[in-house]
Amino acid sequence: MNRPWRVVRNVAYFALVVVAIVLVVHWWPELAAIWRKQALTFVGAIVIMMCGTLVQTRNFLVFLNVGHSVRFWRFAQVWALSSLANYVAPLQPGIAVRVAWLARCGVNVSEGLLATWRQLVASVWISLVGLAVGLLLTGDSRGRWPALFLGVAWVAIYLLRSLCLRLLDRWTRPAWLAHRKQLLQRAATGIVSSGLAGVVTQYVLGTLVLYWVYGRFGADIGIGQALVLTCLVYVSSMISVLPGNLGVVEAIYMFGGHGFGLSVAETGALALLLRVSNVASSVLLALCGVVKPSREG
Nearest CA to 137 among 221, 213, 225, 215?
225
Residue 141: DSSP 8-state:
G
Residue 222 CA to residue 101 CA, distance in Å, equals 40
What angle is formed at CA 276 by the lines to CA 278 and CA 231, rounded to 5 degrees? 45
CA distances from 232 to 12, 98, 167, 205, 276 (A): 21, 24, 32, 14, 19
Nearest CA to 122 among 210, 224, 226, 193?
193
The answer to whether the beta carbons of residues 271 and 246 sit under 8 Å apart is no
Whether pTM > 0.95 for this model: the answer is no
* Mutual angle of helices 109-137 and 94-104, in 10-degree steps: 140
- Confidence at residue 10, expressed as pLDDT on a 0 to 100 scale: 67
CA 182: distance to chain centroid? 28
Residue 90: DSSP 8-state:
S
- Confidence at residue 170, expressed as pLDDT on a 0 to 100 scale: 65
3-state helix, strand and coil shares in percent for the chain, rounded to the nearest 5: 80, 0, 20
Alpha helices per DSSP H over 86-192: 94-104, 109-137, 144-169, 175-178, 181-188
Cα torsion 188, 190, 192, 196 to 10°: value is -60
Per-residue pLDDT of the chain (297 residues; tens, 9 = 90+): 456 766 666 676 677 677 777 777 777 778 788 888 999 999 999 999 999 999 999 999 999 877 777 888 899 999 999 999 998 877 788 999 999 999 988 888 888 988 998 999 899 999 999 999 999 999 888 889 999 999 999 999 888 877 776 766 666 666 555 556 566 666 677 788 899 999 999 999 999 999 999 999 999 999 999 999 999 999 888 877 778 888 889 889 998 998 899 988 889 899 999 999 999 999 999 888 544 444 444
- Confidence at residue 133, expressed as pLDDT on a 0 to 100 scale: 95
